[in-house]
Structures are given as C-alpha cells and as structure tokens.
Amino acid sequence: MMPIFRSIAERSNIYGEIALEFRQIVRDTDFFGYDVLTAFRHLSETTPSEKLKDFLEDLLSIIESGGDMAEFLSMWVRLYQEEAKFEQKQFLSTLSLIAESYVTLFVAGPLFLIIIMVVMGMMGGSAVLQLALVTYVLPIGSIIFILFIDIISIQGEKTSRYVKTRVLRTYENVSVIKKGDEKVLFLQLSQYDRIRDLIRYLRNPFETFINNVNHTLYITIPIACLYVVLIVINTPNYADPETFINVVDDHLIIALLIVLIPYAIFYQLWSRRVLGIQELIPDFLERMVGINPVGLTIAQAIAIMVNTNLGLISYEIKRIKQDMEWGEFL
C-alpha cells in the first residue's frame, strides 16, 4: 500500500493536490513513526476535502475488517465516474443557458436595435453614433462571455514540460581544489553559451515563439501600441466625434490583428506539434510491446527505439535515453 502512496506523492506535477495530501501520509510513516492506519486517520482529520475524507474513512474500515480491497477500489472508481458524468451534465446545461443568453443579448438584440436605428434614420433622425457604439459593444460583450465560460469551465489537462534539477553525489568525497583564475574560465564559458544561444536563434528564429506562444506578445503588443499612438497623433482634431470614430476604429482593428494573427499562427504550429506527438504515442507503445517479449528491459528497448523513425516523437525518445544515461531516473 505505501509504495503506491509514495509513488503518487512524488508526482505532484501529474496528480496535483492529491499528491500533496498523500505526502502527509509518507511524512507520518517515515519521519514521525506512525503506522499506516494512524497516518490514514490523521490525514482524514486534517484534509479539507470531504471526498478524500470519506474515501479514507471507508478505506480504514476495509483494512481493519479485512475486506476485499480490489472490489472496494473498483466501487469508488464507478462512484466517481458517475459523479463526473453528473458534473458534465450540469456543466452542459449551464452552458446551454449561457448560449441562449448570448444569442439573445448579442445576436438577436443587436439586430433588433440596428433595425430600429436604421428605421429612425430613414425617418430623419441620426443614429450613426449609436450604431458605432453597438459595433464596439458586441466584441466587448463576447470577450466577457468567453472569460465567464473559461471561469466556470472544467479545466482540462495542460501540456507542459517539467524540468527537475538533480544533484549528483557520486563524487561527493572527492576533494576539490579551487584555483584563482577560474573566474576567467567561467566568463569564457558564459560568453560561449550566449554565442551558442544566439547562433541557435539565428538558425531558427521562430522556434522560441513555437515553444512559448506568449513570447509573440512581447513583440506584437509594443508594435500595436506604437501603431495606435502614431495614428492618434497624426489624426486631425475633428469637431464631430462620429468622424473621429470612423477614422480611428479601422486602425484599432488593424492593431488588434497585429497582436492576434502572429499569436494564432504560432499557437496553431505548437498545437499541431503536440497533436502529432500524441498521434504517434500508440505506434510507439505498439513497438515497445513488440520488443518486450525478446526479454529486454525498458531501458534497452528505449535505446533500440532511438534508431527507429517515429517522426516528431523521435526527439522526445532521445531525451528519455539521454536522461537514463545520465542517471536521471535512478
């Protein structure tokens, strides 16, 4: 039982908050000298989650009574699956209500207002300013609805890459002699790293934007702001505000496109790369299954897979092999 909790506790980047909770069980058993049941009972008393508390209390009763652990865990799996389905149905019903509200407020409502304003204009009144305001209200309202949906949405899994630094203590007992001229060597090494990064960037200047799409905003937002400032400065002072709006609004849309188009392009490239890797994972696992009956270990099988052509996933397999050679997973 404890190896399972230790495995979950060590992978907080995968299991999230539940891994942090299970670390208390590992701490109580390894450092405080508690037995497993006492550690479970202590966590059930301190956890803020009612679901985890109920699960631990039922788990304690099963362990103390000697019940069937497999049947108990499968029952909880089915229970949580049903709860997840219910939450999905509730979210879909809420989403349908929001969609109806959006259609009423920002599709049918503006059309009704535009028709009324056009009729008023045909009868002699001027409604150009009101039409311009409606034009700006629509995208602002749409953005507010998008943010609201993002807040209430069930957050999905985000694709991220985690890097962990590990201190190698193999040569911990070896004496180190420090020399006075090492600063010059470190300075040369840092200069070499900067030159290497610059050469890598010049060879593929768009790679950094693909790996992190937000980097495009560092360039496009200042350009868009500068563009808007230049337009406002060079625009004459019109006495009629409607004329000023008609002149400036087109340039605001252009500035918005300057920000959004590069972001959308690089996001699509990044998404295509991620989806390409995910599509190749079944092929990778199938080949691993074919190698397994030969009697090779997983590390040896991965070393063989490096020489195969798996497209986008080949680079990731090479990284796994390099990490194993450097003792990262030991």
What is the average pLDDT across 257-266?
92
Would you say 110 and 135 are in contact if contact means Cβ atoms under 8 Å apart? Answer: no
**Looking at 31-45, 97-111, 158-172, 245-259, which range is the least confident one?**
158-172
Judge whether residue 5 has pLDDT over 50: yes
For residue 307, which phi and psi values (nearest 5 degrees)? -80, -5
54-113 per-position pLDDT tens digit: 888 888 888 877 777 778 878 888 888 888 888 888 888 888 888 888 888 888 888 887
Q: Where residue 164 falls among pLDDT bands split at 50, 70, 90?
A: low
What is the average pLDDT across 216-235?
90
Q: How many CA atoms lie within 13 A of 186 on its CB side?
A: 6
Q: Of the spans 2-6, 128-132, 156-160, which averages the highest pLDDT? A: 2-6
| Position 233 in a domain | yes
Nearest one of 311, 305, 306, 307 to 272, comparing CA atoms: 311
Q: Where residue 220 falls among pLDDT bands split at 50, 70, 90?
A: very high
Q: Who's near 307: CB < 8 A, 6+ residues apart?
A: none
Supply the pLDDT for residue 325.
76
| Position 294 in a domain | yes
Supply the pLDDT for residue 185.
77
Domain count, the chain: 1
Q: Where residue 161 falls among pLDDT bands split at 50, 70, 90?
A: very low
| Position 219 in a domain | yes
| Position 81 in a domain | no
| Position 314 in a domain | yes
Supply the pLDDT for residue 142.
83
Structure tokens at 100: 């109806």
Structure tokens at 93: 């019903």
Interhelix angle 17-30/36-46, rounded to 10 degrees, is: 140
DSSP annotation of 58 reads H
17-33 per-position pLDDT tens digit: 888 888 888 888 888 78
Residue 21, Cβ density class (10 Å: 0-12 exposed, 13-18 middle, ≥19 buried)? buried
| Position 260 in a domain | yes
| Position 119 in a domain | no
Judge whether residue 119 has pLDDT over 80: no
Supply the pLDDT for residue 226.
93
Range of the domain at 206: 192-325
